[in-house]
């Protein structure tokens, strides 16, 4: 028996919310799950634009391949990471 599951690539994330944690001062990113088109979402590419306009990732703190981040659609980046030399 052959089973065919028709699916397409997921849509792009449309809603992203950023905030600063009032207790820790960390930068918080939350987003809503996009329309999946029947495909499982197994990772997100999470990029932050630096002061020079270059898009970068912060894999140590906001790795879109980690199952917890994929499942919760939430990550936190320490503010000192964003104010450091890499950003």
Reply yes or no on whether the pLDDT at 3 is more than 80. Answer: no
SS3 category, 23: coil
Q: Could you read off the pLDDT of 12-56 as tens digits, one per residue?
A: 998 999 999 999 999 999 999 999 988 889 999 999 998 899 999
Structure tokens at 81: 């990471």
Looking at the chain, list the stretches that DSSP marks H as alpha helix, in order from N- to C-terminal side. Answer: 67-72, 79-82
Upper half-sphere CA count for residue 23 (Cβ side, 13 Å): 1
- 70-79 mean pLDDT: 95
Residue 10: the pLDDT is 87
> Could you tell me the residue ranges of all domains in the chain?
16-82
Note the pLDDT of residue 26.
96
pLDDT of residue 76: 95
């Amino acid at each position: 028996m052959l089973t065919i599951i028709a699916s397409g690539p997921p849509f792009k994330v449309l809603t992203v919310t950023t905030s600063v944690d009032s207790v820790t001062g960390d930068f918080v990113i939350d987003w809503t799950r996009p329309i999946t088109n029947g495909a499982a979402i197994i990772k997100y590419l999470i990029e932050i634009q630096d002061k020079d306009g270059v898009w970068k990732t912060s894999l140590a703190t906001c790795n879109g391949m980690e199952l917890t981040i994929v499942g919760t659609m939430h990550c936190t980046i320490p503010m000192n990471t964003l104010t450091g030399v890499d950003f």
